Amino acid sequence: MKIDSASATGHPEGRVPAGAAISSAFRHGLNLRQVLLALVIATFTYRFIKRAIQNRVRPRRSHAAADEAFAAKNGCKPVRSVFPYKWPFALDLLYRQYQVNKTQRLLAFQTQFFDRLGSTIEFRLFGDIGFFTFNPKNIEAILSTNFEDYGLGSRSDALRAFLGEGIFTQDGAQWKHSREMLRRPFVKMHYQDLTGFGEHINDLITHLKSCSGIVDLQPFFFRFTLATTTALIFGQPIKDYASETQHAFARSFDHASLISATRIRLADFFWAYTPSKYTESCKTVKEYATGFVEQAMQSTDEDTSKPETKYAFIRDLYNEYKDPILVRDQLVNVLIAGRDTTAALLSWTFFLLVRHPPVLIRLRQEILAVVEEGTLNRGHIQKLRWLKCVLNESMVSVTIINLRG
């Protein structure tokens, strides 16, 4: 929305912020559906005009020729399958994904299309073309051999409200720098003992023993990995805080993750889905992380003569960035990686083990033979070769990227 008279809006240059424009529309009697429809129409009009201008500068034929040349050079084959949809701009596909997500059946919903249409499928959402693939060669090209050719696109902006400026919202040189910065503290962690995991394992077992009948392990694993990850990177587990603080943080983290996943699927329209509760959840998570950064800095200032191990991860990051905001953002990025992927791997591994009893029996025998009596240590883990095989096979068989959102 733009009004020529600056005095009419009270804003410089006569521009009205998007949020203020929407609020004004509500005051004049428009409902949410009408406002969103107007925004979508306006955005599509803008993109249509933009694409028309681009085609005048670079005709569609030249685009096709460039694509054909790239395909010939890299041995690309045409995608023969297209996601089926009925509504304009594939809005029904987006709606169906939203519906199945409520019942946590998103992965099963997507898998049925792969079973029917093949390993690589084209989809058209909001007029843009994208692709789903689980073809091993395509995955290898994206994640390894041709990694530099791919970027995050709109996902970076869709996630920034939650994750800030971190490794999951960065591309290119910034991403490489973040990877190197985070690698160093993790290398140090590798040589730490495992005593810090004991209390969290005991808590997990205690909660599981109190259950009866069929037990859904995933919620327990998510609480377990949240506790271990906060202990490792923040220097203090979430369980040390008051019960209400624990629940508030966990709820905010879950909600921010869920809405962020939905915003990613909206691609360039992520901005249209920013509920007030999402904004509040992101704020809560960042305030929690900021508190630990401040504690780490205060601990360092109070006594620089003693080697500090409690906040070692935070201090290592601060020594590199010299910026508490960047440190906070990286902590949130590491937290979502450490909690979600680890919990998903544990969930899938147990899901597969109970369906393959001989593998479970052999794994148990190996653990009893190697560890015997005493405390588990890293030396034991290096000898558990069958355990490594089980985890590797689980990661090959299923995705460990959490699809709850």
Residue 301 one-letter amino acid? D
Please give the residue that has the higher pLDDT: either 324 or 235: 324
Task: Give the separation between CA 130 and CA 92, rounded to whole angstroms.
Answer: 16
pLDDT at 16 over 50: no
Domains of the chain: 77-150 (no CATH), 161-397 (1.10.630.10)
What mean pLDDT is predicted for residues 96-102?
80
**Which residue(s) pair with 125 in the sheet?**
128
Q: What is the pLDDT of residues 388-402, one digit of tens each?
A: 999 999 988 776 665
Residues whose CB falls within 8 Å of the CB of residue 253, separated by 6 or more in sequence, listed in order: 226, 281, 285, 335, 336, 339
For residue 311, count other CB atoms closer than 10 A to its CB. 22
Task: Give the separation between CA 270 and CA 259, rounded to whole angstroms.
Answer: 10
**Contact in structure between 217 and 347 (CB atoms under 8 Å):** yes
Residue 199 one-letter amino acid? E
The string over 54-67, giving b where at least 16 C-beta atoms fall within 10 Å of a residue's C-beta and e elsewhere, is eeeeeeeeeeeeee
Q: Which two tokens stand for residue 307?
A: 């080697």
**Contact in structure between 292 and 331 (CB atoms under 8 Å):** yes
- Percentage of the residues of the chain whose pLDDT score is greater than 70: 77
Average pLDDT, the chain: 79
Which of 117-121, 122-126, 185-189, 196-200 is the least confident region? 185-189
Q: What is the pLDDT of residues 308-340, one digit of tens each?
A: 567 788 888 888 888 999 999 999 999 888 888
**Which residue(s) pair with 124 in the sheet?**
129
Q: What is the pLDDT of residues 131-171, one digit of tens each?
A: 888 888 888 888 888 888 888 888 899 999 999 999 999 99
Task: Give the separation between CA 163 and CA 285, rounded to whole angstroms.
Answer: 9
pLDDT at 346 over 90: yes
What mean pLDDT is predicted for residues 244-265?
87
